[in-house]
Amino acid sequence: MSSEILLEGKSLVKYFPHGSKGIFGKSDGFVQAVDGVNLVLRKGQTLGIVGESGCGKSTLARVLTRLIEPTSGNIILDGRDITKVSGKELQSLRRDIQMIFQDPFSSLNPRHSVGEIIASPMRIQNIVPKGNEKLRVQELMELVGLNPEHYNRYPHEFSGGQRQRIGIARALALNPKVIVADEPVSALDVSIQAQILNLLEQLQHDLGLSYVFIAHDLSVVRHIADEVAVMYLGKVVEIARPEVLYSAPAHPYTKALLSAVPSATPRASHMHSRIVLQGDVPSPINPPVGCRFAARCWKAQDICVAQEPALGSQSFTSQPEEGLVACHFPENSN
């Protein structure tokens, strides 16, 4: 785990003003979408970010890619603080960080041919590839497993999985250092999901890419991530290597999340007792003061409601690499 740090998020915070009251429309609070998140992505590796809807993972993705500006905190790419860059600098930054989106149906302009879609980042950045544009596009199509002869076809002529390949080719067009993938396989059928995940791993291997991989699906992330961060209500509650996280989750929420995933093995499902969480995720407007999970946690004590647990290593005996957890009473700590 000692390869070089490529992308780092330090104390990232993103609040959105919420609603409005009174005649002059003053905001009555903030949606605390991302609230003090620290993340590290190392070169050639994949950082998985997992959480349920409303946990802030997509906002975090947009903050990291500078699609939106954080309320506070810093983003550091390759040793350079990119939190405040703008104008020309921001445009050239876009070459280094590219995104893949969830919905392969709405993220491609239906009126542009596949060739135009894949070439668009190069055109916007005024980059003329070696040889010519068409050659480069066809090379990219081949790289993601599309038939280069389909250069002139339109998105509707492709299946969901193939469209996601088009999205990946577009993201690769500028040779980015980091790819932020926001739920890239959630909208796809199971048999296609595996194809896309294999492709992403193959590309990482061949091109030395680094991924931030966002998903609500634990099993998908397990496959591709070197490290997994679990988010709940704007905070990272646990971060660990997948072998550790999946076999011995330290945070009660991680444990509940893992146990809620239905297993495709009927016998096993009867054996493991499922933790069914009560109630809903609290509102991110004025969230609870102490631990944000306390209200739904079966282990909660007075301290959990009063004091927010810091993200730290879970016990004195464990190695720091084993992971960090934000819980007063983590699992497996004696």
Partner 1 sequence: MTTFIARRILFALVLLAAVSLFTYLLFALLPTDPAALTCGKNCKPELIAANRVRLGYDKPIYEQYWQFIKGIFAGRTYGSGDIAFTCPAPSLGYSFNQHECVSTLIGKTFPVTAFLSLGAFILWMLLGVGTGTFAALHRGKWQDRLTSVVTSIGVSLPTFYVGLLVLFSVVIWLQWLPFPHYASPTENLHDFLTAMILPWITLAVLSAASYTRLTRNGVLEAMNEDFVRFGVAKGLKNRTVIRRYVLRAALIPIVTIAGLDFAALLGGAIVTESVFSLPGMGRLAIRSVTDSDLPVLVGTTLVAAVFIVMANTIVDIVYGVLDPRVRVK
Partner 2 sequence: MEKVPLLSVENLNVEFSTPDGVVHAVNNVSFAVESGETLGIVGESGSGKSVTASSILKLNSGVTAKTQGAILFNGRDVLGADDKTIRSIRGSEIAMIFQDPLSALNPYYTIGNQIIEAYRVHHRDVKKSAARKIALEMLHRVGIPNPEARIDEYPHQFSGGMRQRIVIATALINSPKLLIADEPTTALDVTVQAQILDLMKDIQKENGMAIILITHDLGVVAETCDDVAVMYGGRIVEKATVNELFLTPTHPYSFGLLGAVRSLDNSARGELQTIAGSPPSLLHLPSGCSFLPRCGYAQQNLAQCSSVVPELEKVSPTESFSACHLRTEALISLKMKELA
The span of 8-16, 30-38, 135-143, 195-203 binding partner 2 (CB under 8 A) equals 195-203
Q: Of 22 and 262, which CB lies nearer to partner 2 in the complex structure? A: 262
Which residue reads 């957890």 in tokens? Answer: 325
Contact letters for partner 1, residues 45-84 (x by CB under 8 A):
----------------------------------------
Could you say which of 20, 269, 307, 315 contacts partner 1 (CB under 8 A)?
20
Helix (H, G, I), strand (E, B) or coil at 95: helix
Could you say which of 58, 65, 98, 162 contacts partner 2 (CB under 8 A)?
162
> From CA 231, how far away is CA 39, in angstroms rounded?
12
Contact letters for partner 2, residues 5-34 (x by CB under 8 A):
------------------------------
> What are the C-alpha distances in Å from 248 to residues 49, 251, 270?
18, 9, 20
Q: Of 1 and 23, which CB lies nearer to partner 1 in the complex structure? A: 23
Which residue reads 């961060």 in tokens? Answer: 229
Compute how many other C-beta atoms are within 10 angstroms of the C-beta atom of residue 3. 11
Burial 43-73 (b: 16+ CB within 10 A, else e): ebbbbbbbbbebbbbbbbbbbbbbeeebbeb
* Nearest by Cα to 255 from 278, 275, 233, 237: 275
Within residues 23-52, the interface with partner 1 by CB under 8 A covers 23-25
**Site for partner 1, rule CB under 8 A:** 19-25
**Site for partner 2, rule CB under 8 A:** 52-53, 159-162, 189-195, 197-198, 201, 216-220, 222-224, 242-243, 256-257, 260-267, 269, 274, 276-277, 279-281
